[in-house]
Structure 1
Amino acid sequence: MKFELQFFGATEEVTGSLYVIRTGQHTVLLECGLVQGGRKDELRNAEPFPVPIKDIDAVILSHAHIDHSGRVPLLAKRGYTGPVYTQNATRELCSIMLPDSGYLHEKDAEWENRKRDKKGEEPVEALYTRADAEDSLKLFRSFRYEESTEILPGLWLRFLDAGHILGSAIVELRCSDGTASRTLVFTGDLGYRDAPVMEPPKRLKHADAVLMESTYGDRLHRSFDETLIELADIFQRARASKGNILIPAFTVGRTQDLLYLMSQNYKRWGLADWHIYLDSPMGIEATKVYARFRHLYGAELFRPGSELPNLPNFHATMTTEESMGINTIRSGAIIIAGSGMCTGGRIHHHLKNNIDRAECHVILIGFQAHGTLGRRLVDGETEIRLWGETLPVRAQIHTVGGLSAHGDQADLIDWYRNFANRPPLYLVHGEPKAQQALQEKLRETLNAPASIAVRGQKIEI
């Protein structure tokens, strides 16, 4: 019985998840994500896929975040016509996120081609367009959690709640030839034990191999109570300085967590003194998907019978004109806008109007990959460039780690601990320092056969 896994993306780095599974005559892509980071990193997205597209029988996605799903439109553009399997809510979120990604690629190409035209250089083509993304959505097939389905002869797929974002899944793949079977479990991105909205990740008891993320493998998050106190302090200081608060937020997951926490701590954080703007068309649409799938979590995020968060001073700004109007506000605005790593989107406009103002505050609430503007702010850069203009960083920068949608080292070890047979464990989706620390801790505490996946490496399950 052949059941082989080969690593290609998110090996010794966080973004660009992509793995190849081979069973008998069949080939499956597990994840199909965009590489994110600096310009040099992102150029890798245009590279050929690691196997011929005609040989791919199916694609499986653990969740909707672009570093896990964002190359599906490119795959389809290059000729893939097979199924893309996801959890039900993931399919809905991808229908928002992938066309938005296509739009951003179109805009990037337009910007690049304006520069090339001035130099007399050949134009570039967008990685894929909004139309390409919308076409790829026709390939999606979705299932409920816990539903086991034979997607190819002898290959059974089951999604279990990973607790990371809405629809996020632990992927269980069981390969059987009728006499023997082998099981591969892939965590996708595992949620944090104190996640405000999502349910805790499901635990499994058996696997023959485990593929596990390691984003925060080298650290422990602050306790959730400490995080709430930290946010209360930031809001109090911002109120005293009479500026604005900018919160670059991932539009799926972190945004909804933040809106829920604001509703739960409305008085404690003095939020009646502010106007709260969700300045992200995609974030607004994603929040509506959270409302439609509220049966997947227990948190009371919305007003009864409504798709609006439980916040009396909440404003959803869909249009460009509404967004531009926010930039006339000098004080009293909390602006939640994408992207979470400050790599694009409306947050750039708000940074341009506020980053040089000492009375303003920027709260970074998620992982910031190397090469991103968000990472440079975390690392203390004193100047940033936006649209060719150099801006001094005078606003106060806050990094709040306790709101991560990823489990920390203790969460990851505790989740793996549930496997009674201690299956071989391969670490992906993490930077080398985090992976090495997690590998050592797993070996030390559980005697786990943990190794760090290397690009191109093959394993037999």
Structure 2
Amino acid sequence: MADPLLCFHGAAGSVTGSCFLLEHAGTRTLIDCGMFQGSKTEKELNYRPFPFEASSIHSIILTHAHIDHSGLLPKLVKAGFQGPIYCTAATSDLCTIMLQDSGHIQEMEVEQLNRRNKSRFRQMIEPIYTAADAQAAMTQFRSIRYKEWHETEGGLRFRFWDAGHLLGSVSVELELVSNDGTIRMLFSGDIGPQHKLFEAVPEAPKDFDYLICESTYGDRERDDQSPEARRSQLRQIVSQAYHPNGALLIPSFAVERTQELLADLNTLMDANELQRIPIIIDSPLASRATSVFKRHARSLSNGDLLLRALNAKNVRFTETAEQSKAIDLIHGFHIIIAASGMCEAGRIRHRLKNWLWHDEATILLVGFQAAGTLGRILQDGAHAVKIQGEQIAVRATMRSLDAYSGHADATELENWILARLPIRKGLFLVHGEPAATGQLSRRISGHRRVPIVLEPKLDSAYRLTKDGAVVSAATTSPPRLRAEDVGHFDWHNDYQSLVLDLDEELRQAADETRRAIILRRVRKALQHAGD
């Protein structure tokens, strides 16, 4: 029997696209099958063939429902995967709505893109998958309870531990028998912070051969994140954003983040720390996700706060396009919470087109913004952006509030890892941009009981031998992307930035002569670009 092989086909060198392939005893198991987000270069991977045959996968273990962990499951099923998808019941419930919503968005955006492509004589494209494909994939989901062992083909067995990140999220404890005895592994999934409104503190056992751990916030520390401190920060931002003719826009993940914000805003209003401000949840997905949260309210910490907020008279959800468009007619200060959290799709882009150029507006970012996303570009202080081909000036006030992040910060990650000791043969750090992963690696490497810290690259592979992890020939050779093209801004971002900068230079030029000089210099630079 060959030593097990672990391949990193996503969330390696970047935050999204979680997908780890474990080959053992003639079987192939995937842990997660997520969609890539971030730069256009990374997102294009979603359209490419998988780096393995879909039909060769025997089973999938899903850590949670977020699209960067589950988003390519319908594509995998469509490509020939026929095995079971193991997850918690709550994750299955959330995926029922999230994957169909993802398919619907792809159909809609591809239709819009193809209209533009047709007018430009460009090639038509197909959606990665449709809502119908997503619905078909749900028939392969199998619900597993926390802490109960389950065995798959090849003698691999696993059980789930609460990761404290999202309703139904798990860390996966896994055991398999090799030539040298039993190998114990733990896949962290995404680890929640200590003060998540609806989630318990993350838990998992200790004593493993290998730990595969996320590192999203490996280079960040947060201040006091108690519920009181979080609500105090939110109250201050809302109060400062108030303008009689303005709006507070909150791009937010539709699942859990929106519900947390809604509960905290209503708690502040119940306590008269904020006046009763109209709150519009402009997201059909958030509406459907909230129904799932209501069904699971008894299993949530502080579930009563959410139920109370849902009954507040100042809160309303939009379902139809007509209801969403009617928001533009609202007079007076109001709060709009809309997906997506990184501003990459969904109704938030329409809201941003309407409000970014208004001084009276405030945009509040409440989650991680991956490199190359519109949310990250705004967070980094862009003076203008392009949305659906239209250039929009940024005059709104930009604010960020990290207190609602679903990820543990650097100290919390370090403590969580050390609580898993001993780690006998290796710690793999994944699901982080290079700076975050590198800084967490340096912190952990100082602890003597962690033998080796590894930072795998996209499509890298390791043999899990009796002496530790050994780099193996990748199943995808060469890798689908170079390491420097993962987890960074790409040339598409640079191009958009250049176009906006050139437009600004031309607009501020003193006269026609100065504009002609600028354009002449640009043309000259282009002529010598290949020299």
- Tell me which interval the TM-score lies in, with the shorter structure as reference length: over 0.9
Out of 257-266 and 329-338, give the one that drifted further.
257-266
The amino acid that maps onto 1:279 is D
Distance 1:270 1:335 in 2: 19
Partner of 1:50: 51
Q: 1:12 to 1:141 in 2, by over 3 A?
A: same
Tell me the equivalent position of 2:68: 67
Q: Which amino acid aligns with 1:427?
A: L
Deviations 1:103-126 (A, max 9, x none): 111122212211222233332111
SS of residue paired to 1:217? coil
Change (3 A) 1:263 1:460: same
Q: Is the 8 A contact 2:34 2:67 kept in 1?
A: yes
The answer to whether the 8 A contact 1:301-1:309 is kept is no
Shift of 1:81: 1.2
Give 1:299's aligned residue: 302
Structure 2 counterparts to residues 363-402 of structure 1, below 5 A: 363-402=364-403
Q: Hey, what's the Cα distance between the residues in 1 that align with 2:283 and 2:60?
A: 29
Largest Rg, 1 or 2? 2
Show the counterpart of 2:80.
79
1:26 equivalenced with 2:30 (yes/no): no
Who is 2:500 aligned against? none
Within 2, Cα distance between the matches of 1:447 and 1:358? Answer: 54
1:274 counterpart letter in structure 2: I
Matched, 1:433 2:435: yes
Paired residue secondary structure (1:327): helix
Return the match for 1:272 from 265, 271, 275.
Answer: 275
SS in structure 1 at match of 2:329: coil
CA contact (8 A) 1:218 1:433 kept: yes
Does the CA-based 8 Å contact 1:28-1:60 persist in structure 2?
Answer: yes
Q: TM-score if structure 1 supplies the norm length? A: 0.95
For 2:204 and 2:140, locate their aligned partners in 1 and report how far apart those are by CA, in whole Å: 30
**CA distances 1:29-72 after superposition (whole Å, capped 9, x unpaired):** 11101111232221111222122222110111100000000111
- SS of corresponding position for 1:191: coil
Q: 1:234-249 counterparts in 2 under 5 A?
A: 234-240=237-243, 242-249=245-252
Give, in whole Å, the separation in 2 of the partners of 1:291 and 1:399. 28
Partner of residue 193, structure 1 = 194
Q: How far, CA to CA, are the matches of 1:446 and 1:179 in structure 2?
A: 24
Structure 1 position 458, deviation (Å): 1.2
Q: What does residue range 232-381 of structure 1 map to in structure 2 within 5 Å?
A: 232-240=235-243, 242-267=245-270, 270-301=273-304, 309=310, 311-381=312-382
Task: Give the unaligned 5+ runs of structure 2.
Answer: 466-531
Pairwise CA distance, 1:174? 1.1
Aligned length: 459
**What letter corresponds to residue 454 of structure 2 in structure 1?**
S
In structure 2, C-alpha distance between the alignment counterparts of 1:252 and 1:445, rounded to whole Å: 36
**CA 1:334–1:270: 2 relative to 1, 3 Å:** farther
Query: What code does the residue aligned with 1:428 have?
Result: V
Following superposition, the deviation at residue 232 of structure 1 comes to: 1.5
Aligned CA RMSD, in angstroms, stands at 1.9
Superposition deviation, residue 73 in structure 1: 0.7
| TM superposition shift of 1:90 | 0.4
Q: 1:178, CA displacement in angstroms?
A: 11
Secondary structure at the counterpart of residue 209 of structure 1: strand
Is the CA contact 1:91–1:140 (under 8 Å) kept in the aligned structure 2?
A: yes
Alpha-carbon offset, residue 291 of structure 1: 1.3
Q: Does the Cα contact within 8 Å between 2:56 and 2:81 map onto a contact in 1?
A: no
Compared with structure 1, are the counterparts of its residues 175 and 378 closer, same or farther at alpha carbon in structure 2 (3 Å cutoff)? Answer: same
Flag the 1:101–1:134 CA change in 2: closer, same or farther, 3 A.
same
Report if aligned partners of 1:259, 1:301 keep a CA contact under 8 Å in 2.
no
- Which runs of 5 or more structure 1 residues have no equivalent in the other structure? none
* Paired residue secondary structure (1:98): helix
- Between the aligned partners of 1:260 and 1:143, the Cα distance in structure 2 is 29
Which residue number in structure 1 is paired with residue 476 of structure 2? none
Residue aligning to 2:158: 157
Write the letter of the residue equivalent to 2:85: V
In the TM superposition, what is the alpha-carbon distance from 1:10 to its structure 2 partner?
Answer: 0.8
- Counterparts of 1:415-430 in structure 2 under 5 Å? 415-423=416-424, 424-430=426-432
**Cα-to-partner distance string for 1:295-328 (whole Å, 9 max, x where unaligned):** 3322134576x8x625341111111111111111
For the residue of structure 1 that corresponds to 2:212, the secondary structure is strand
Percentage identity across aligned positions?
A: 37
Give CA deviations for 1:197-247 in whole Å, capped at 9, x if unaligned. Answer: 111111312211000000000011222254433222111112256511100
Q: Trace 1:113-262 onto structure 2 (pairs within 5 A).
A: 113-176=114-177, 180-224=181-225, 225-240=228-243, 242-262=245-265
Letter in 1 for 2:22: I
CA distance in 1 between counterparts of 2:124 and 2:48 reads 18
Instruction: State the partner residue of 1:460.
Output: 464
Tell me the equivalent position of 1:40. Answer: 41
Please give the alpha-carbon distance, in whole angstroms, between the structure 2 residues aligned to 1:320 and 1:375. 27
